[in-house]
Amino acid sequence: MNFIRTEIPDVVIIEPTVHGDNRGYFVETFRADKLEEFLGYKINFCQDNESKSSKGVLRGLHYQLPPHAQTKLVRVISGRVLDVAVDIRKNSPTFGKHVAVELSDENKRQLLVPRGFAHGFVVLEEDTVFAYKVDSYYSPECDRGIAFNDEKLGINWQLEHAELKLSNKDTKQPKLFNITDDKEIFEFGVNYYA
């Protein structure tokens, strides 16, 4: 299993080792001990989620506030997505910056999106199945989002706007730089894993 820090070092690409032959393949998709050794802190995943979407579906950008903030470990079981993590930690040197990584059933890559980041993805192939682990249960009162099309974020979703399919909720999210309430975003340097 290979761990790669991205241009925002807290966001990590995980490349599992694939063992394949003429019968198919075997891949170890998660090892808590190796991940925690690499990160230097513990993550206790408590829930797995899965979605199936058609091409053009965009889900995000979502996050949960403390005390129900979530780390996500995301991957694609079948199909292909562009997965995006946006740093929403106030005073972070990378605040408002993002990492975009293509995840697919072919490359078997995963992305670790830590607490303090908004997360979203756009589906690039029909019938894509997306799966992820979270380390805190869903909390409606802590559920938040930011606009996928916030110009200051500069995210290239790789599809034309007319091709995108969004939920009603995701068409009405605020822009990151319009959020003025300090309780609505994270503080850089705070240990959200304590």
Burial category of 28 from C-beta neighbours within 10 Å (exposed 0-12, middle 13-18, buried 19 and up)? exposed
Establish whether 41 is a catalytic residue. no
What long-range pairs does 139-143 form, CB within 8 A, spacing at least 24? 139/64, 139/68, 142/64, 142/65, 142/66, 142/67, 142/68, 142/69, 143/62, 143/64
Of these residues, 62, 63, 98, 119, which one is catalytic?
62
Cα–Cα dist 73/12, whole Å: 9
Of these residues, 41, 63, 132, 138, which one is catalytic?
132
Establish whether 62 is a catalytic residue. yes
Q: Which residues are catalytic?
A: 62, 132
